[in-house]
Amino acid sequence: ASKQSDNPEHFFEREWALETIAVALQALRDEMKKAGKSEQFDALKGSLPGEDEPPRKEIAARLNMSEGAIKVAVHRLRQHFGKLLRAAIAETVSNEADLNDEMRYLVAVLRRR
């Protein structure tokens, strides 16, 4: 029996989704570096969806911040990443409805096993 991952179309779709995420992640990395927050990005990037999130207590100690400040920073990082992801997808579609459809499609592709 053929596994879903053996399907060339599914492979292509997954590669598209991962590349789109990589573009948004690089944009986020670049913005934070420009703002002098490379260390914060490196410490917090594991808090993005799809990553193995390190304990916030460890991140707080590493960055010399309170756990509450880390919680806020993670929330802002996730929000901004979402905006950058939408921007990356927006470059490939012609309207807001298509953008929303592509966002849902990206999530569906990544959930596929």
Q: What is the pLDDT of residues 59-94, one digit of tens each?
A: 999 999 999 999 999 999 999 999 999 999 999 999
Burial string for 94-111 (b: 16+ CB within 10 Å, else e) reads eeeeebeebbeebeebee
pTM score of the predicted model: 0.84
Mean pLDDT score across all residues of the chain: 91
Q: pLDDT, tens digit, for every residue of 51-60? A: 778 889 999 9
- In this prediction, residue 50 carries a pLDDT of 73
